[in-house]
A = this chain, B = another copy of it.
Amino acid sequence: MADPRFYKLAGPFTLKEMSVLTGAILSADADPKISFKDVAPLSAAGPDDVSFLDNKKYIEEFRVSRAGACIVEEGVVKNAPEGMILLISPTPYRAYALAAQAFYPEPAFAPSIATSASIDDTAHIPEDCLIEPGVVIGAHVIIGTGCRVGANTTIDEAVTIGDKTSIGAGTNLSHCHIGARVLIHPGVCIGQRGFGFAMAASGHIKVPQLGRVIVEDDVEIGANSTIDRGSGPDTFIGAGSMIDNLVQIGHNVQLGRGCVIIAQSGVAGSSKLGNFAVLAAQSGISGHLVIGEGAQIAGKTGVMRDVGPGEKVAGIPAVPIKEHFRQVAILRRLANKKAE
């Protein structure tokens, strides 16, 4: 079970309740009234725990798991150890997520405003918010209901924050409007001036950056990531997008809905990502490009041209992923031939 110093466990939940929560279908012979106390990974789960199998890599752990119940795809049912109750789902990870959210709901917090917080008189902060110590909030800031602002965070003048948004410790927000139910991790910087200047040997000349950052609802932004404000247009992060740690988003970038940007990736100025585009880790998108809806960029890819909707690309410079695999194969073959 999760360390009770950090996590509070709800439940137990019956198989029937879990089936309703997750949409998973209970195997015919299982008693829907049996209840389970916790969720756990396959290797650590015991008879009172619900686990899941989503990655075939872990099928051997599944075969010998002591989990009382497990959420799985139809296809692996035959590999289940004897006595394990199965919850069948076409999307086991998704079903597990819903079950785990029930067992470990987001912890409630006691609303309060720390006396060591520095809050401008013109800022609006509802009574049901938690403002932790050392927070600094500037003039005309508007914070929604039920928000939590972590310690030592700075929110500059005129920033607005939607309802039920949670902001981590030590973040720095300026020139931005943040939506509802957004989760901002510690150390994030949003709204600082973009990297805009005219180069000249006599001294680079800074171009005033006059836009904002708009973060829509339900976005998550990972620790120490940076999102520059627009130069004139706004930088825009579409609803439900998930941004991992140490990601860089340049000025004027537009992300559609549900985009996923994995750690240490970067999107250069003025590029646009369609809805549900995915950038795997350490990939980079050059400036002024259009990445289509549902496009998938492999890890470490360097994208220097537009990418079509649904297209999968890899390599530096990026090419269609099948072509990339052929490039890798041919180069490997040539190198090994040379070695003979």
Q: Give chain A's interface residues, CB within 8 Å of chain B.
A: 2-3, 5-7, 39-41, 43-44, 55, 57, 91, 93-94, 96-98, 100-101, 103-104, 114, 116, 118, 132-134, 136, 140, 150-154, 156-158, 168-172, 174-175, 185-187, 189, 192-193, 195-201, 203-208, 210-212, 218, 220, 222-226, 228, 231-233, 240, 242, 244-246, 248, 250, 258, 260, 262-264, 266, 268, 276, 281-282, 284, 286, 288, 299-300, 302, 304, 315-317, 319, 323, 326-332, 334-336, 338-339
* Interface of A: prevailing SS: loop
Q: Taking the nearest CB of chain B, how far is it from the CB of A72, in angstroms?
A: 14
* B260, A204: Cβ atoms closer than 8 Å: yes
Task: Chain B residues near A203: list those with CB within 8 A.
Answer: 218, 240, 258
Nearest CB in chain B to that of A244: its residue: B195
Contact status A195-B57, CB under 8 Å: no
Q: A195-B245, A207-B93 are in contact. Are A288 and B57 (CB under 8 A)?
A: yes
**Within 8 Å CB of A170, what residues of B?**
152, 154, 170-172, 187, 189
Query: Is B156 a contact of A169 with CB atoms below 8 Å?
Result: yes
Q: A203-B240, A331-B327 are in contact. Are A134 and B118 (CB under 8 A)?
A: yes
Give the residues in chain B near A222, CB-CB below 8 Å. 192, 195, 226
Q: List 23 A-B contacts (CB under 8 A).
A: A2-B232, A6-B175, A43-B233, A91-B198, A93-B198, A96-B207, A168-B192, A170-B189, A192-B223, A195-B244, A224-B246, A226-B263, A263-B266, A264-B284, A281-B284, A282-B284, A282-B302, A284-B299, A286-B299, A326-B335, A329-B335, A330-B331, A334-B334
Q: B residues within 8 A CB of A323?
A: 332, 335-336, 339
Copies of this chain, tallied across the complex: 3
Tell me, rounded to whole Å, the shortest Cβ–Cβ distance linking A159 to chain B.
Answer: 9
Known: A170-B170, A187-B226. A5 touches B262 (CB 8 A): no
- Could you say which residues of chain B place their CB within 8 Å of the CB of A189? 168, 170, 185-187, 223-224, 245
B240–A266 CB distance below 8 A: no
B210 with A187: CB separation less than 8 A:
no
Q: Which residues of B contact A300 (CB under 8 A)?
A: 284, 302, 316
Closest to A243 in B: B195
B284 touches A208 (CB 8 A): no
| B210 touching A2, Cβ below 8 Å | yes
CA separation between A205 and B203, bound complex, in Å? 42
Measured CA separation A339–B325 after assembly (Å): 11
- Assess the B186–A258 pair: CB atoms within 8 A: no
- Among A132, A175, A203, A206, residue most surrounded by chain B Cβ atoms (within 10 Å): A206
Neighbouring B residues of A225 by C-beta, 8 Å: 224
- Beyond A97-B196, A281-B284, A282-B284, 8 additional contacts (C-beta under 8 Å) are A6-B158, A94-B198, A104-B208, A132-B136, A152-B152, A172-B187, A187-B189, A263-B268
Judge whether A204 and B242 touch: CB under 8 Å: yes
Contacts of A7 in B (CB 8 A): 210
Rounded to whole Å, the gap between the CB of A209 and the closest CB of chain B is: 9
